[in-house]
Structure 1
């Protein structure tokens, strides 16, 4: 963050929650790990000089702990101990930060007991974590424990972040693309008082660009591409991220590529990169829209991943369409203080015609009780039925034609799941090899085991009560 936007960040600490993933081996015995894990385990991170603008509350040993629960406990504990010094909060992705809030809701009493006694919980068995946290918990602090207990015992956790970390100036995390789903929840827990900052656009393959207006609204985030990071070319796409040309998914049609200086304002592209590390014309798979220029460098908005679609017939719904539809529909929950905290989808083709299934986890914004299950929202079934039809009304022309005219797609279904279901889903994917640091809730479920988990948590099911509106296009 440039100091001209938020001054004096060198006068406090950053509670950034970072996590590593255990290394794996390829069939031929070569070590394999994620790019972020490689960085955290490298000398560039572990042997870095002290930087007052990046003074983290988390000791390095807690970040490098392979057990995500032990790492989370220790990192949150360190953040709470230094709560009066924390000037910014964050994680790589918004989902990881909300995961931390969920962990805090379940475990704040134990965290307070650690602070009160000055002793680390016995379930923390990692030797490096116990060693470094003994310095953080150097003496018992009953007063601090009482402060945190008072805050966390409130009926509502709206604005809890500002109360626990009163000097925090913003939250930094990726909130674009599929992460935009988490913006309302982040605003709820900060009471809308902390800006949501998304500073950069990067991937494992390449660093692409920076956000020159970091304090802008999440919906207005645009990244200025940095030409010195690699050689960028662009594959033209249609208005919804669909290919304009007919060729195989893995092909790179060289004669159709557009270079950096010839992209057009308002048009959609998939980036194709040639990197210093040796990738040659690698298709990244993202959909970007050119929204402006800084000098001659294009400024792009991340729209979605190209291959995230749900389909049961000739219609194809991409991530952007699905997110826009759910965003419109969830507004119907607001009069009931209902907050949609997470969702995913599944194309159910077990019956004919097939239909879309949406799994929704809903949190009651006005009530926080001792039992997680008591957080479930009691909403009249007709409201959820209206949510179903509201989603369908926002889906594209082809989907509505299939539903209303062709009858090749059945009524959309919303299955409401228990609170904490998507935490369990995340645990499942982590157990299958996903990285907690880079985990994103899949917007379309393909794993049979993950689907079985979701269905085991369903508390109610609702279907669209009528066909969505559809008018034939005139020739």
Structure 2
């Protein structure tokens, strides 16, 4: 039946504004294929509590801190568990470092931790440029490795670029099998040889090790097994979306696909909901 592209409906469309950071970045390469010739621009980081960044350029998820709307403070991620952490002002941020945003607004929020983790990518004048990474809750740790959803997304995107293997959906989750470790569930629309899966799993492993020193150390000492990879049919991902929407009570437009599920029970619940609990699944591991 072919494919309906945005310009088939809106021939004069020049710019598309959407989420491009965090887990949404996993879909940007596919979106660019569908929206060839259309500039894709992030619409900034905002929530019902307030607007936090304003986009200044296309093809980047980083935006300038909205210094004219609220008062912002920042908590370094590595200090989040400290009983008396040193909170930073906007001009004190360091490019490359990650922070929680603390929001003080005229509507009554005072130092509200919205639980958004952002990375400072530089400055525009004295205002920091920030890119959204993930919600603070989207962190998984079995042995102290503290893997974030943004690290998983970046690792898979890099592995896709290196291997040419395209997965439209993926979710990583911790599992306790013979040895604790992580399984990457993927949606592969075409048949893929086991050797391709093995190489892809190896590339994701390498990329994750390069982004997370604690994960690399746990792998080197054998406390974590190598990443396992399992391919699931498209119907499984549709069932996952329906199950999560039913639980949350949200709409399809509000659905945010989880690229990292820290809950170790996710595997059994997910496979049972999809009717795959007793079926052998295509798997590869290092």
TM-score by length of 1: 0.54
Q: Secondary structure at the match of 1:293?
A: strand
CA RMSD of superposed structures (Å): 2.5
Distance 1:292 1:286, change over 3 A: same
Distance 1:290 1:332, change over 3 A: closer
Could you report, residue by residue, the CA deviation over 1:41-94 in whole angstroms, capped at 9, with x for unpaired residues? xxxxxxxxxxxxxxxxxxxxxxxxxxxxxxxxxxxxxxxxxxxxxxxxxxxxxx
Q: 1:461 aligns with which of 272, 282, 286?
A: 282
Residue of structure 1 in register with 2:248 after alignment: 433
Q: 1:385 aligns with which of 198, 204, 209?
A: 198
Greater RCO structure (CA 8 Å; 6+ sep): 2
Residue of structure 1 in register with 2:270 after alignment: 450
Residue of structure 1 in register with 2:106 after alignment: 276
Q: For structure 2, list consecutive stretches of 5 or more residues without a partner in the other structure.
A: none
Structure having the larger proportion of residues in strand: 2
Q: 1:235 aligns with which of 53, 64, 75?
A: 75
Q: 1:354 aligns with which of 168, 180, 189?
A: 180
Q: Secondary structure at the match of 2:253?
A: coil
What is the CA–CA distance in structure 2 between the aligned matches of 1:455 and 1:354, rounded to whole Å?
24
Could you report, residue by residue, the CA deviation over 1:74-132 in whole angstroms, capped at 9, with x for unpaired residues? xxxxxxxxxxxxxxxxxxxxxxxxxxxxxxxxxxxxxxxxxxxxxxxxxxxxxxxxxxx
1:131-210 superposed matches below 5 A: 153-154=1-2, 157=3, 160-190=5-35, 192-210=36-54
CA contact (8 A) 1:232 1:260 kept: yes
What is the CA–CA distance in structure 1 between the aligned matches of 2:275 and 2:158, rounded to whole Å?
25
How many residue pairs align between the two structures?
277
1:303 correspondence with 2:158:
no
What is the CA–CA distance in structure 2 between the aligned matches of 1:311 and 1:454, rounded to whole Å?
26
> How far apart are 1:246 and its partner, in Å?
4.3
Q: Secondary structure at the match of 1:425?
A: helix
Could you report, residue by residue, the CA deviation over 1:320-353 in whole angstroms, capped at 9, with x for unpaired residues? 221121112223552xxx531111111111x231
CA contact (8 A) 1:361 1:417 kept: yes
CA contact (8 A) 1:416 1:459 kept: no
CA contact (8 A) 2:44 2:61 kept: no
What is the CA–CA distance in structure 1 between the aligned matches of 2:65 and 2:51, rounded to whole Å?
9
What is the CA–CA distance in structure 2 between the aligned matches of 1:269 and 1:228, rounded to whole Å?
20
TM-score by length of 2: 0.86
Q: For structure 1, list consecutive stretches of 5 or more residues without a partner in the other structure.
A: 1-152, 238-242, 364-376, 466-475
Residue of structure 1 in register with 2:168 after alignment: 341
What is the CA–CA distance in structure 2 between the aligned matches of 1:429 and 1:459, rounded to whole Å?
24
